[in-house]
Amino acid sequence: MLDHLLIWLGAYYWQAITTGQVSCRFCEGGARASICGPQDIPSQYTIRNVKESYGVMIVCSSCHRTETNTLSHCLFDLPQVQHFWHKHSRMRWYPVREVDYQGQPALLGRFQSVIDKAGIDVICQRETLEILQIQENQLNAQKPER
């Protein structure tokens, strides 16, 4: 049941990210979504003591509820990451980092097994959060810095 909720929520937030609009999940009115940058994310959203910098904000024009979801949570909701998590239940989240990907500004989100160093990386375009690459790998050779 939890899985279904996660998948549903993931689809909801990714629809918000990719289309800029969703039906409000509280009142089903029309809601607008926008990508948030570092100045928009409240300071209580942190991972491993690093403040989260990217996410999506959804504002309902009917009931005026506003919600913010961080990019890390959106990445966690991706089916590929969920699949990885099922195989590696003791998994560590890393703060999203700014990187260059094929010459364009991008963001790297990383989840890593605590047990065996298997990991999954997700790379998003920095402005639109469009997913550019998802790669599962063994991270022995390239441990992320702490």
CB 60 within 8 A of CB 66: yes
Quote the radius of gyration of the chain (alpha carbons, Å): 15
DSSP 131: E
Q: Quickly list DSSP for 41-97.
A: S-TT-EETTEE---EEEEEETTT--EEEEEHHHHHHTSHHHHHHHHH-SSEEEEEEE
Q: Report the residue from 27, 50, 114, 115 that binds Zn ion according to the rule CB under 5 A.
A: 27
Q: How far is CA 40 from CA 6, 43, 57, 85, in A?
A: 24, 9, 9, 29
- Closest approach, Cβ 32 to Zn ion, in A, equals 11
Q: Report the residue from 5, 18, 21, 29 that binds Zn ion according to the rule CB under 5 A.
A: 29
91 binds Zn ion (CB under 5 A): no
Contact window for Zn ion (CB under 5 A) among 19-27, 37-45, 98-106, 127-135? 19-27
58: tokens are 């959804």
Q: Report the residue from 5, 18, 50, 62 that binds Zn ion according to the rule CB under 5 A.
A: 62
30 binds Zn ion (CB under 5 A): no
Q: Report the residue from 8, 18, 26, 114 that binds Zn ion according to the rule CB under 5 A.
A: 26
63 binds Zn ion (CB under 5 A): yes
61 binds Zn ion (CB under 5 A): no
105 binds Zn ion (CB under 5 A): no
Per CB under 5 A, residues contacting Zn ion are 24, 26-27, 29, 60, 62-63
